[in-house]
Structure 1
Amino acid sequence: MMFNGYNDSLVQNIRAWLQEDIGSGDITTWTTIEEGHESKAVIHAKEDGIIAGMPVAELVFRTVDPSLTFNPLVQDGAIVRKGTIIAEVEGSTHRILTGERLALNLLQRLSGIATKTRSFVDVLEGLSTRLVDTRKTTPGHRMLEKYAVRVGGGANHRFGLYDAVMIKDNHIKGAGGISQAISRARANIPHTMTIEVETESLSQVEEALTAGADIIMLDNMSLEGMTEAVQLIKSRSPHVRVEASGNVSLETVRGIAETGVDVISVGRLTYSFASLDISLDLNAKKGGAEG
C-alpha cells in the first residue's frame, strides 16, 4: 500500500519523539562503542502478523542520520511469519542504536493495528459491509494509526471534528432533540457535507429519517433491533446509509453485518490492540577509529 503520510507534521513529530528519547545524548552507546564503528542490522518479526509502518521506520532512521541505508525487504500490508526479516539498516552503529527504539515502537504499534484490523476483515469475508475505525486514537498518532487500519484492509471514518457532522447523544440533548440538531446543522454546513446521527432506539431512527439524516448510526442495539431498523430505513429512504457501532468484537461482528448495515465502526482497532513483536539485531560490520 502506498504511504502518503510524509508531511511537515510527521517530520516534526519524529524529531520531537527522538528528542524525548535521546535528550542530551545516548550515553550507553557513547560510552561503550567507538564513534566510527559501523554495523548492519536486521529487523525481524518475532510473531505472525501484518506489517505496517515501514516508510515511517525508514524516516526515523533517516532523520537520525541521512547517511544510514534502510532496505525494506517487505512492503506494508505483507503477511509475515515469525522469524521473517523485514528490513536491513546499515551504517553508523551509534546512529542505528539511537533510532532503534522509536523506529521499533512505531513499527510494532502500527503493525499491531493492521493485524487487529485484518482479523476483523477476515471474519467479514464474503459480505459487503465496510469496516471502519473511529476517533479513539492515540493523541498525536491519528494519521499513522488510521493509515495502519487501511493497511489491514479497513477504511477510515472521519479524521476529526471538522470533516463531517456527527450528531451524538450529547449534541441531541444540547440541541433539544434530533430534529432540532439536524435542522440547525443543515442550515450551517456546505451542501457537500453529510450529517450522521447516532440513534439508540427505533423511535430515534424514525425521527432521524424524518429530519433528513444522510447516515444513521445504530448504537449498541440488539441484532433484532438493528435488523428492524435497517428494514425501516431501507424501505423509506434507500439512499440513507446505516452504520452500526458499540462494543463490536470478533465474535459479534459478522452477526452485526448480517443485519444489513452498510458500515460497522470499531473503536478497538486503535485503542485495544497488541503491538506486534518486532526486534532489531545488530551484526558488526567493521571497527571504529584506528589507533
Structure 2
Amino acid sequence: MLYFSDNELDAFLLEDIYRGDLTTHSLGLDNVPARMIFKRKNAGIVAGISIAEKLLRKLAIEPHVFVNEGDTVAAGSLLLTAQARADKLHQAWKVVQLVLEWSCGVAQYTAEMIANAKAINPNAIVACTRKSIPNTRKLATNAVLAAGGHIHRQGLSETLLVFTNHRNLLADPEDWQGIVTRLKQQAPENKITLEADNLVQFEQMLTAEPDIIQLDKFTPEQVKHALHVLALTNKKITLSVAGGVNKNNVAEYAKLGIQLFITSAPYYAPPEDIKVIIEKQA
C-alpha cells in the first residue's frame, strides 16, 4: 500500500469542496444523520479502497471497510459504508467515488492484461510506464500494484533507459559500447536498458551487451526476428516490448517468447461503476 500524504489527500478533496456544498446547505440537510454505501456494480478487482478510507477520515468520517486492495469481488459487492452528518457525507461522496471508479478501472485492465499474458507464459511480467494521465501517477501506481502488475519506471531517477533522444546529443550516437561502459561506471548498481527503434539498431546494440533491450513499436514479425538473432549470439540479454502493447495483443507477443511487457494502456481504461447510496440514518 502506498503512502498518501495529508497534502495529497487534501488536494483530492479541495478540488471538489473548496467552497462547501451549496445544495446540501440550501436544503437544510447539513445536520441530518445519514449513511453512505459504496458497492462495485460489476465483478472484478478492487483498488483505491485504502485511499478512499483515508479521504473519509480526513473529513472526520469513520468508515467501515469490507475489502482490501487487490481483492476480487462479485458483482454488487459491498466495499465500504460510513455514517455521519449529511454535509460531511456529501462532501466525500464524489471524491471517494471517483478515486474508486478510476482506480478499479486501471486495476481491472491490468489484471486482464496479466491474465492474457500468463495464459501463454506463466512468468510474464506486465510493467506500467510513467506515461500516466497528468496528476494521476500515484493513484495509477497503487492500482497497478493492487492488480499484481509491476512498475517499469515512475520517474527519471529510478532506472537507466537510453532513448534515441539521449543518443542524439552524444558526440557519437551509435557508440553503443561507449554508452554501456559509461553507464556501468556511473551507475554500477543499476541495470542498463537501451531502446531500439528498429531491427538495425537492435542488431548493433547486441555487441554492447546491455542488460535489457526494449523493442519499441516492433511488430510480432520483427520481434520474432529479434529473438532469433539474439538466440544465435548466446548473449544473456532480456528483451522487452513497448509501444502499443495492450491486453488485446499481449498474448500474441507472449507466444513468441517475450515475457516482459511495457505498457501505459491500463491508465486509459474505462472507469468501473461504483454505486453510491446515501440514506437517512434511523
1:107 paired to 2:103: no
Q: Is the 8 A contact 1:179 1:208 kept in 2?
A: no
- Partners of 1:230 and 1:33 lie apart in 2 by 68
1:204-229 Cα deviation digits (max 9, x unpaired): 12222212321101112222221221
Match status 1:63 vs 2:58: yes
Identity of aligned residues (%): 23
Contact 2:195–2:214, Cα closer than 8 Å, also in 1 = yes
Q: Does structure 2 retain, via aligned residues, the 8 Å contact 1:53–1:76?
A: yes
Taking the aligned partners of 1:78 and 1:235, their CA distance within structure 2 comes to 44
User: Per-residue CA shift, 1:24-44, capped at 9, x if unaligned?
Assistant: 211111122443322121101
- Secondary structure (helix, strand or coil) at the match of 2:67 reads coil
Q: 2:165 aligns with which of 162, 170, 180?
A: 170
Instruction: Give the structure 2 partner of residue 224 of structure 1.
Output: 221
Partner residue in 1 for 2:175:
179
Q: CA RMSD in A?
A: 2.0
C-alpha distance in 1 between matches for 2:224 and 2:106: 30
State TM-score, norm by structure 1: 0.88
The match for 2:115 among 116, 122, 146 is 122
Shift, 1:234, TM fit:
4.3
User: How far does residue 237 in structure 1 lie from its aligned partner after superposition?
Assistant: 5.1
Q: Can you list the C-alpha shifts for 1:105-146, whole angstroms capped at 9, x where unaligned?
A: 111111000001111112123412211111111222212201
**CA 1:172/1:112 → structure 2, altered by over 3 Å: closer, same or farther?**
same
Tell whether the 8 Å contact from 1:182 to 1:195 is kept in structure 2 after alignment.
no
SS in 2 for 1:265: strand
Q: Deviations over 1:167-225 (max 9, x none)?
A: 12222323242425724751663200122111133321222221232110111222222
246, 269, 283: which is aligned to 2:266? 269
Q: Distance in 1 between matches of 2:75 and 2:28?
A: 30
Look up the equivalent residue of 1:194 and give its one-letter code.
K
Distance 1:59 1:33 in 2: 27
Q: Is the 8 A contact 1:134 1:157 kept in 2?
A: yes
Does residue 1:43 correspond to 2:38, yes or no? yes
Report if the CA contact (8 A) 1:110-1:275 is conserved.
yes
Work out whether residues 134 and 158 of structure 1, in 8 Å CA contact, stay in contact via their aligned partners in 2.
yes
How many Å apart are 1:48 and its aligned residue?
A: 2.8
Cα distance in 2 for residues equivalent to 1:238 and 1:33: 73
Separation in 2, partners of 1:213, 1:33 = 66
Which runs of structure 1 show a deviation greater than 4 angstroms over 4 or more consecutive aligned residues? none
Counterpart secondary structure, 1:160? coil
Mapped partners of 1:251, 1:36: distance in 2: 50
1:54 aligns with: 49
Contact 1:243 1:263 in 2 (8 A): yes
Q: Which residue of 1 aligns with 2:128?
A: 133
Shift of 1:96: 1.1
Q: Secondary structure at the match of 2:281?
A: strand
Give the residue type in structure 2 aligned to 1:223. P
| Equivalent-residue separation in structure 2 for 1:25 and 1:85 (angstroms) | 28
1:151 and 2:150 aligned:
no
Instruction: Specify the alignment match of 1:289 in structure 2.
Output: none
* Long gaps (5+) in structure 1: 287-291
| Residue identity opposite 1:83 in structure 2 | G
Call closer, same or farther: CA 1:194–1:178 in 2, change over 3 Å: farther
TM-score normalised by L of structure 2: 0.91
Separation of aligned partners in 1, 2:234 and 2:277: 58
